[in-house]
Amino acid sequence: MTTATDITYRLPQERKLVTELPGPRSMEIGARRLAAVAAGVGSTVPVFATDADGGVIVDVDGNSLIDLGSGIAVTSVGASNSAVAAAVAEQAAHFTHTCFMVTPYEGYVAVAEKLNEITPGDFDKRTVLFNSGAEAVENAVKIARLSTRRNAVVTFDHAYHGRTNLTMAMTAKSMPYKRNFGPFAPEVYRMPMSYPYRDELGSDGVAAAKRAISMIEKQVGAETTAAIVIEPIQGEGGFIVPAPGFLSTLAEWCTAHRVLFIADEVQAGFARTGTWFACEQEGVEPDLITMAKGIAGGMPLSAVTGRADIMDTVHGGGLGGTYGGNPVACAAALAAIEQMESLDLCGRARHIETIITETLTATADELAGAGLPVIGDIRGRGAMIAVELVTPAEDGTATREPNPDLTAAAAKAALAQGVVALTCGTYGNVLRLLPPLVIGDDLLRDGLAVLCQAIKDNA
Ligand SMILES: Cc1ncc(COP(=O)(O)O)c(CNCCCC(=O)O)c1O
């Protein structure tokens, strides 16, 4: 397996603070932002980036921060991967756009061929490219509804699928994604998720699936259901890994009732969980799979790949969009996927998982031993790991009461020390680790040490 020592970096891989955060230049730009950018766009970090490479982001004041977020699971190969940057420059120097629906180009075809190859399922496939994850999910639902001539779409509690009207309807959490943005698209039905840490069915994935199936059959009806759409590991909802058997039991039911199984791998895909796609680890071959984020090294690109006999039911001209499969994004994707292969980033993700879980587990044990059992759960796969924080009882015994205040305080304290860590979860009580897969071991360990100390200091 490639280790980080085989990866070369353009920037020093260090955590270095030369000002308070935000520094003076960031504050200047921050004032301009207030006067120019809509207030609805939030930002986690109050500084402005000027450079990024490997596991660091450098801000306009010269601070070098450890990036444990990868821009929300996007810059897996690094935010300025040299192969991706070269491919982008080369393509842009020739043409940035012709519109594939007008004058097509090979890059789009090559990306489609690659996605058909690396996605789960040894069957004939077809791919269509878009720009964002939500756009891919929207189109996967369009394809499913057309090919089945059914309208109902089943999603799950704690799900996140996007911010467009249909994907908001599919997303579970109201704030900040949905509140007052309705009315939402009809024919979307939400079923209980397998959330082992909080589910009374715990690690019995088959029972959890049967619970959902029973509700689908009573409340929706298989014969009116076009598709089940599910994240194999739920992202924004809190890195929820369903219990073994949950996904495969759902997939089997789908097959038996001609309901399409759509895996939303926008966040879990592209080596992030230690395999190309997370559903591989459950032995599930989805009928359609949606992809984005890590696909193109930071360039905006998304995709729907699926069984050819489903994808090709759509009439000519029924799928598209002006920028879908932009040539520069396609060049970036081919380079990024090549980097994932040549650097064995699936192997690196599994290596990162070991480092993260060992470090977090040691901290959980230390805190519990000190009568502060605030780490309720450590879960995830590969470089998609979460720690769920909870509030101990007055007498110091463990509870499962979500602790969003500690979560926010720990992330804030880590940032003040130069470590960018993201939070998530239905209850706002999950710290998530999404480092670039090219981050070096030493830098990762430094970032984890800061984050764990921030949890301990605020527990
Ligand atoms: C599983 C899954 N499906 C779909 C999407 C949507 O992808 P877009 O590229 O953000 O549209 C996501 C995006 N997740 C990060 C959203 C960040 C935010 O907007 O606050 C996802 O994780």
CB atoms inside a 10 Å sphere around CB 3: 13
Is there a single domain that holds both residue 32 and residue 120? no
Is there a single domain that holds both residue 290 and residue 395? no
Sorted by sequence, the CB contacts under 8 Å of residue 176 that are 6+ apart come out as 42
Top mutation candidate among 132, 135, 161, 384 for ligand 1, by most atoms within 8 Å of CB: 161
CATH of the domain at 62: 3.90.1150.10
Is there a single domain that holds both residue 261 and residue 271? yes
Is there a single domain that holds both residue 267 and residue 177? yes
Q: Is 162 in the pocket of ligand 1 (CB under 6 A)?
A: yes
Is there a single domain that holds both residue 58 and residue 132? no
State both tokens at 155. 């999603």
Is there a single domain that holds both residue 279 and residue 226? yes
CB atoms inside a 10 Å sphere around CB 251: 23
Which of 343, 376, 407 is at the close of a domain? Answer: 343
DSSP 433: E
Domain membership flag for residue 91:
yes
Residue 7: what pLDDT? 87
Top mutation candidate among 155, 236, 430 for ligand 1, by most atoms within 8 Å of CB: 236
Tens of pLDDT, residues 256-270? 999 999 999 999 999
Is there a single domain that holds both residue 64 and residue 181? no
Q: What is the largest CA-CA distance in the chain?
A: 69
Burial class (CB in 10 A: 0-12, 13-18, 19+), 54: buried
Contact between residue 168 and residue 177 where contact means Cβ atoms under 8 Å apart: yes
Top mutation candidate among 267, 270, 423 for ligand 1, by most atoms within 8 Å of CB: 267
Domain membership flag for residue 12:
no
Burial class (CB in 10 A: 0-12, 13-18, 19+), 10: middle
pTM of the model: 0.98
Which residues are 385's β-sheet partners? 380, 433
| pLDDT category of residue 345 using cuts at 50, 70 and 90 | very high
Is there a single domain that holds both residue 233 and residue 318? yes
Q: Is 251 in the pocket of ligand 1 (CB under 6 A)?
A: no
Which residues are 269's β-sheet partners? none
Provide the number of structural domains found in the chain: 2
Average pLDDT over residues 129-149: 98
Q: Is 132 in the pocket of ligand 1 (CB under 6 A)?
A: yes
Average pLDDT over residues 379-383: 98
Residue 68: what pLDDT? 98
Domain membership flag for residue 451:
yes
Tracing tokens 């890059």 back to the chain, one arrives at 107
**264 CA → ligand 1 middle, Å:** 10
Residue 2: what pLDDT? 44
Q: How far, rounded to the nearest angstrom, does the alpha carbon of residue 38 sit from its chain's CA centroid?
A: 25
Q: Is 232 in the pocket of ligand 1 (CB under 6 A)?
A: no
- The candidate with the shortest Cα–Cα distance to 333, out of 301, 288, 291, 290, is 301
Looking from the CA of 166 toward its CB, the CA atoms found within 13 Å total 16
Sorted by sequence, the CB contacts under 8 Å of residue 78 that are 6+ apart come out as 52, 53, 54, 84, 297, 436, 438
Is there a single domain that holds both residue 335 and residue 371? no
Average pLDDT over residues 273-298: 98
Which of 297, 320, 343 is at the close of a domain? Answer: 343
Is residue 16 predicted with pLDDT exceeding 90?
yes
Residue 5: what pLDDT? 53
CATH of the domain at 107: 3.40.640.10
CA 155/CA 230 separation, integer angstroms: 6
Tens of pLDDT, residues 161-196? 999 999 999 999 999 999 999 999 999 999 999 999
Domain membership flag for residue 352:
yes
Q: Is 245 in the pocket of ligand 1 (CB under 6 A)?
A: no
Which of 296, 325, 343 is at the close of a domain? Answer: 343
Indicate if the alpha-carbon torsion angle 168, 160, 149, 135 is positive or negative: positive
**271 CA → ligand 1 middle, Å:** 17
CB atoms inside a 10 Å sphere around CB 190: 18
Is there a single domain that holds both residue 146 and residue 262? yes
Name the average pLDDT for the chain. Answer: 97
Domain membership flag for residue 422:
yes
Tracing tokens 């769920």 back to the chain, one arrives at 388
Domain limits for position 445: 24-80+344-457
